[in-house]
Structure 1
Amino acid sequence: MHKKTNISVFVLFVSLTFILFAGLTVAGCTAKETATSNKEETNAVPVQVEKARKGILDAKAGIAGKFEPYEKVAIAPKVNGKIVEISVSLGQKVNKGDVLFTLDQVDLQNAVKQAEAQLQVAQANLKKAEIGSSQGLDQAKNNLAQSESAVAQAKQAYNDAKINLERTKKLFEAGAVPSVELEQKETAFKNAEIALKNAEIAYENAKDSVHYAGQKTDIEVAKASVAQAKVNLDNAREQLANATVRAPISGIVASVNGAPGQMSSMQSSVITIVKLDPIVVKGYLSENEVTSIKTGAAVKVEVPTVGKTIDAKVTAISPVMDQQLKAYPFEIEIPNADGKWKADMVVNVIFQGTNGQLENSIIVSRKAVFEEEGKKYVYKIENNKAVKVEVKTGEETSEEIVILEGIKENDTIVVKGQTLLTDGAEVTIQKQA
C-alpha cells in the first residue's frame, strides 16, 4: 500500500513539471512576439497631415493693422508766454482758423509801440538828411560856378602877363627899356601863372564837392534805417498776432495739455488736432506679399471689436522697406464722416489680389513646405510612407501657400513632424488637436 502511494506521487510530480514547462514556453513566445510588434510600431514616425485642396487663396497682409488719423497736428505757440485762455475742449470739432488759445499780450503790445516809435525816429532822420543834402548840393554848385569864373579871370591875367613879358623882352633887347622893367614883367608873369594853377585846383575841388553832394550818402543811410525800423515793426506785430493761436486744420481736439495761468513754450504742444475723415489703416506687407499687391487692390478690413467688415482699396504702398520691421508700409483710406471709426482700433486686413482674388490653385498649409539647398519640398504620404517631393510654389500668405508643381489635389501632405522624417520613412498618422 505504501509503494502504490509513492508511485502515484511520482506520476503527479512529473505531470506538474511538464505542464509548468509548457506554460513557460508559450509565455516566452508570446512576449517575444509582443516585443517585436512594439519595436515595429516604435520605428514609425508620428506625423500630422492635411489634404491638398484646390481653391482661392485669401492673402492676409501684416496680420494686423490699425486705424490712424488722416492728419495729426500738435500745436505749440510761436512765442513763449503765459496762457490767458483756452477756447476749446477735448473732443470738440474745430474749423481751420478757429481760436484755440491765447497768451498774455502786454509785453508784445509794448514791443509794437516801441517799434512804431523807432520807425518815426528813422523817418525824421531821413527827412532831415534829404533837406541837408539839398542845401549842400546848392552850395556846392554855387562854389563851382565861382571857381569856374575865377579860372577864366586867372587865364585872362596869365595871357596879359605873357604878352607884356614878350613885348618888354623885345624892347629890352633894343635898349629901349631898362632891366628893372624887364624883371618886373617877369615877376608879374610868374605870379599870373601861379594864380591860374591855384584857380584850376579850386575848380577841380568844387567839381568833386558837387559830385559827392549828388551821391546823397546820408540819405541812403537814413533810408536803410527806415527800412530796418519797418521790418522790426512788422516782426513785433507778427509776434503779437502769434499770441492768439488758431487751428491750422479742421478736425477734432484730441488732447489739451495746458491751462490758464500756465507758462507755455515753443517746444511744447498745448493742443493736438486730428482729422479722422477719412481714417487711414496702416500696416505692413512682407517681401513676398508686396510683389503681388498693387495700389488700388481690393481689400476687406475686419474690425474685430465691433464685428464689422469694410470693403476698401489700397491707396498707397511704400517702395522702401521699413528696416526695423523688414516690411513695406501700406495705407488704406476709409470714409468716416460719422466718426464711427476711432484712431488706434486694431483691424485685420484681407487682400484679395489685384483682380479681387488670386488664381484658383492647389493650396497647402505654409508649414508643410520646407527648404533645403535653395529648393522647396513637402512630404507626401503614400502607403503609410513619407515621400519627399520637390515643389514649385506661388502666392503665399502667413498661413497658406500655392503649389504650382509637384503635388495634386487631395494628396496627403505632412504638416507636422517633417523634421523627424527621411524619404521613405514609415509613419503613423495622428489626429490634429
Structure 2
Amino acid sequence: MKSSARSRLADRNGPLIPNIDIARPRPYLPRLLKHLFHPVFAFALICAVGCNPNGESASGKRKKERQKTAVVEQRDISFSISVAGEIGPAEQVSVRPEVNGRISELPVDIGDKVKSGDLLFALDDKDLQIELETRRTEIASANLEIRKAKQELDVADQEVELDLRRDSITRAKLEQQKAKDDHARNKILFDDELISKEVMQSVESAYELAKNAVLQAERNLQLSQERFRKAKERARTNYELATNAVLKAQRNLELTQDRLSETRIVAPFDCTVLTRSISAVGQAVSGSGGFNSGTEVMTIANLNEMIIDAHVNQADITRLSADMEVDVAVEAVIGLTVKGRVERIAPKATVRSGIKGFGARILLISVDARIQPGMTAKISIPVVSAENALSVPLAAVFTEQEGRYVYVVVDGVYEQRAVEVGVSDYRFAEILSGLNAGETVSLEMPGEDAEVKEMPAEKDKGKRG
C-alpha cells in the first residue's frame, strides 16, 4: 500500500509509519534488462564477465551478496520530514549613493571583508566643495546685514528726537503761561487807562503767538512720533529679514555639508562584499534621492549570521513552531550538518512551485566557514522518535488486509508471525509486539519450496517497558 512521500502507513489501531513500500522487494532483473542493450552498458557487462575468473556475472554476484535475513535488535529510531530552502545572509544591503556623481575611489572588490566604518567607495566632490565655500560666504554676508539692522533698531529705540519735541512743548507752554500772565496784568492796566491801546495790542499778539507755539510744538511731536513708529517698524522688519537670511544660509550650508558627507559611503557593519556592479573609477552613478532608486554600486552582507528561506507544505507546517531546533544539511558540503532555530513562520499561506505552504525563516545557530549564500539546504523537521526500540528492517515487515506480519527463521523453517508496528523511519520499523530480541527474520518472501508455518502473535512479546 502506497501514499504520498509525507504520509505514513497506519495500522488500524497503531501508530503511523513512513510511506515505505514494505512488501516483497522488487527484483533487479527488469531494471537490468531496461539498459541491457545500451552500448556502454553492454561493453561494461562483457568486460565484467571476461575479467571474472570464475565466469560469474556481475548481477549474479550482487544477488548472491544481497542480505536475506536480519536479527531483531534494539536501536534508536527517528522519523523526520525534509524541507528544502536557500541559504542567505541575515543582513544584506544594496549600497547606492544618495547623490549623483562620478566614482573617485573604489577600494573594495568582490569577496573583500570590510570593517564597520571603512570606506566602500567615494564620489568626486569638487563641485560640492565650491558650493560649500559659496554657502559660507552667504552666511558671512547675512551676518553683516543682521548687524546693520540691529544697529538701526537700536537707534530707533533711543527716541532722541521725541525727547527734543517734548522739551519744545514744555518750553512753549512756559512761554504761553508767561504771555498769559502779561496779558492779564496789562488788561487791568488798560482798563484803568494806564497803558495805551497799542501796548495792549502788542501784549495780545505776544499771547496769541505763545499759544500758537504750543500748538505747533504738539503737532511737531505727533509728526515725530509717526516718523519714529515707521522707522522702528522698518528697522524691525530689516532685522527680521536679516535674521531669516542668516537662518536660510545656515540651512543651505548644512544641506551642502550633508551632500558632501554622502559622497563618502562607509560600511554600516562588519561585512563581506557580495557583488560589485561598477567596474572602474570615473564611472557616473545616479543618486537614490531622485526619481529613480539610484545606481547599485555593490551589495554587502554579514556572513557571520545566515538564515534559510524555506517553504513548508501546509500539511507539515503544524509540526513546526517558533524557537524549534532543526538539523540542517548543506548539499554543497558533503557530510556537513549544522543546527538551526526557527525564527519566523509566515501567518499566511502562499503558493510556490504549485505547492501551497507557509514561508519559514530559520537562523543557523553555528555557521561553518564553508557555507556560502545561495547554497541549498535540507531542513529536517522531527516528527516522531523512539529510543532503544526493538526493531527490524522495513523489508522484513509484510502487509496484507489482515494486518502486518514477519517471517521468523528458525532452523530453516519460516514462521509467519503477526506483529504490531510502532515508530518507523525510512530503514527500520519498531516492533511493539510479536518478536523478541535476537530472533532472525527474513527480508524476502519464502520460496515456493520453503516450509512455512503460521503462529499467533504473542501480545507480550517485544513490548516497550
**What TM-score do you get using the length of structure 2 for normalisation?**
0.57
Kept in 1, the 8 Å contact 2:139–2:249? The answer is yes
User: How big is each residue's C-alpha offset from its partner over 1:111-160, in whole Å with a ceiling of 9 and x where there is no partner?
Assistant: 122222222222333333344444x348x532122112111112223333
Residue from 15, 19, 24 that aligns with 1:54: 15
* Deviation (angstroms), 1:340: 1.8
Kept in 2, the 8 Å contact 1:297–1:351? The answer is no
* Deviation (angstroms), 1:337: 5.2
Residue from 362, 367, 370 that aligns with 1:340: 370
- Residue 335 to residue 209, structure 1, CA distance change in 2 (3 Å): farther
In structure 1, distance between residues paired with 2:183 and 2:153: 47
Within 5 Å, give how 1:64-103 maps onto structure 2.
Answer: 64-103=84-123
Q: Secondary structure at the match of 1:147?
A: helix
- Residue 323 to residue 181, structure 1, CA distance change in 2 (3 Å): farther
The answer for the alignment partner of 1:153 in structure 2 is: 171
- Residue 340 to residue 157, structure 1, CA distance change in 2 (3 Å): same
* Deviation (angstroms), 1:263: 0.8
Residue from 229, 233, 242 that aligns with 1:222: 242
In structure 1, distance between residues paired with 2:385 and 2:223: 96
- Residue 409 to residue 186, structure 1, CA distance change in 2 (3 Å): farther
Within 5 Å, give how 1:130-169 maps onto structure 2.
Answer: 130-134=150-154, 136-137=155-156, 141-164=159-182
1:233 aligns with 2:233: no
Within 5 Å, give how 1:241-256 maps onto structure 2.
Answer: 241-256=261-276
The answer for the alignment partner of 2:214 in structure 1 is: 196
- Residue 156 to residue 324, structure 1, CA distance change in 2 (3 Å): farther
- Residue 183 to residue 303, structure 1, CA distance change in 2 (3 Å): same
- Residue 337 to residue 66, structure 1, CA distance change in 2 (3 Å): closer
Gapped regions of structure 2 (runs ≥ 5): 4-8, 18-77, 288-293, 388-399, 404-425, 427-431, 435-465
* Deviation (angstroms), 1:299: 1.3
The answer for the alignment partner of 2:283 in structure 1 is: 262
1:129 aligns with 2:146: no
Kept in 1, the 8 Å contact 2:342–2:362? The answer is yes
The answer for the alignment partner of 1:310 in structure 2 is: 338
- Residue 323 to residue 207, structure 1, CA distance change in 2 (3 Å): farther
In structure 2, distance between residues paired with 1:191 and 1:409: 141
- Residue 174 to residue 288, structure 1, CA distance change in 2 (3 Å): farther
* Deviation (angstroms), 1:268: 0.9
The structure that is helix-richer by fraction is: 1
Q: Secondary structure at the match of 1:245?
A: strand
Q: Which amino acid aligns with 1:262?
A: Q
* Deviation (angstroms), 1:343: 1.2
* Deviation (angstroms), 1:358: 7.9
* Deviation (angstroms), 1:247: 1.6
* Deviation (angstroms), 1:69: 0.9
Q: Which amino acid aligns with 2:165?
A: S
* Deviation (angstroms), 1:218: 2.8
Q: Secondary structure at the match of 1:60?
A: strand
Kept in 1, the 8 Å contact 2:84–2:376? The answer is yes
1:119 aligns with 2:139: yes
* Deviation (angstroms), 1:185: 5.8
In structure 2, distance between residues paired with 1:67 and 1:336: 13
- Residue 48 to residue 348, structure 1, CA distance change in 2 (3 Å): closer
Kept in 1, the 8 Å contact 2:341–2:365? The answer is no
Q: Secondary structure at the match of 1:151?
A: helix
Q: Which amino acid aligns with 1:109?
A: Q
In structure 1, distance between residues paired with 2:194 and 2:165: 40
Q: Which amino acid aligns with 1:78?
A: E
Kept in 2, the 8 Å contact 1:54–1:409? The answer is no
Greater CA drift, 81-90 or 169-178: 169-178
The percent identity for this pair of structures is: 24
Kept in 1, the 8 Å contact 2:275–2:298? The answer is yes
- Residue 292 to residue 200, structure 1, CA distance change in 2 (3 Å): farther
In structure 2, distance between residues paired with 1:59 and 1:338: 23
Q: Secondary structure at the match of 1:67?
A: strand
Q: Secondary structure at the match of 1:284?
A: strand
Q: Secondary structure at the match of 1:64?
A: strand
User: How big is each residue's C-alpha offset from its partner over 1:218-268, in whole Å with a ceiling of 9 and x where there is no partner?
Assistant: 333323322322332233233233222222222110111112221111111
The answer for the alignment partner of 2:64 in structure 1 is: none
- Residue 200 to residue 288, structure 1, CA distance change in 2 (3 Å): farther
Aligned-residue CA RMSD (Å): 3.9
In structure 2, distance between residues paired with 1:186 and 1:409: 148
The answer for the alignment partner of 2:379 in structure 1 is: 349
Within 5 Å, give how 1:1-40 maps onto structure 2.
Answer: none
**What TM-score do you get using the length of structure 1 for normalisation?**
0.61
Greater CA drift, 173-182 or 230-239: 173-182
Gapped regions of structure 1 (runs ≥ 5): 1-46, 361-379, 384-398, 400-407, 411-433
* Deviation (angstroms), 1:302: 2.5
In structure 1, distance between residues paired with 2:116 and 2:93: 12
Greater CA drift, 152-161 or 252-261: 152-161
In structure 2, distance between residues paired with 1:194 and 1:302: 112
Q: Which amino acid aligns with 2:364?
A: I
Q: Which amino acid aligns with 2:174?
A: Q
* Deviation (angstroms), 1:344: 1.8
